[in-house]
Amino acid sequence: MVEGGGTLDGNGKIWWQNSCKINKALPCKDAPTALTFYKCKRLTVKDLKIQNAQQIHVSFQKCTNVRVSNVAVAAPETSPNTDGIHVTGTKNINLTGCTIRTGDDCISIVSGARNVVATNIACGPGHGISIGSLGAGNSKAYVSNVIVNGAKLSRTTNGVRIKTWQGGSGSASNIKFKNIKMYDVKNPIIIDQNYCDQNKPCKDNKRSNVQVKNVVYENISGTSATEMAIDFDCDKRHSCRGIILRNVNLKREGGGEAKATCRNVRFSNNIANDNVSPQCQLGED
């Protein structure tokens, strides 16, 4: 068991200044992670405060049977790559009651993660709750059995996001986002299968992609800071399959029309009859 009192401070400011995301002339390099749990079993982490990490705040790598509760993460909105909680190669992990304010993903769930449950999460500022990125460098990546149940996202760049690179392979499957409140979020619901997080343009590689399938969005409401409240940009060759939208109500912050675009999506329900607003403008199939 690891439990808190006090604060872990990564003193990351000098690292942020030397990031290629802050200074485009500098090479992109990894920075240290403030706290890493590696190959831990039957781990409990609770009541920790972590701030200003050089890069990722807390990482769970190749762990099994993990319980995380009441962890608080804080870093400036402008701090680059400062993910709050990062889950990779880990199975059977439960995150509950965590508050995350940072400059990147509040929670990032990447390759090898399965049986992940996140409940009662407060996120913002930050880049939202993300599956991925997956498939960078033509790699194979798998994420499965993820539930996000009960989250509040405030003024984040994204809400709930799945992001994959062109050219990768594998799958992101059996994912549920439910009982989520959005407040002035720029991209509340997004699947981005053309993700590109590098200074130079990514190659247009359509030969393969990570398969996104069996994803449920249920009981999601709030406001979008931009016109596009729902944006599914799925791979044309494979498409996103088994997608369900149910009881989704997103309005434009400050008034005006909110929109939804769904490119290359196969729905498993009739979204016209399941209380979904805005309705999708269907793209390529």
Mind telling me the catalytic residues?
A: 127
Cα–Cα distance for residue pair 155/126, rounded to 1 Å: 8
Please, what is the end-to-end C-alpha distance for the chain in angstroms? 49
Contacts (Cβ under 8 Å, ≥6 apart) of 270: none
Retrieve residue 107's tokens: 């929670």
Cα–Cα distance for residue pair 97/121, rounded to 1 Å: 6
Please return the burial class of 181, using the count of CB atoms within 10 Å of its CB with bins 0-12, 13-18 and 19+.
middle
Please check whether residue 178 is in contact with residue 197, taking contact to mean a CB–CB distance below 8 angstroms. no
Per-residue burial over 39-58, b if 16 or more Cβ lie within 10 Å, else e, is ebeebebeebbbbbbbbbbb
Cα–Cα distance for residue pair 127/148, rounded to 1 Å: 15
Cα–Cα distance for residue pair 59/229, rounded to 1 Å: 30
Residue type, 245: L
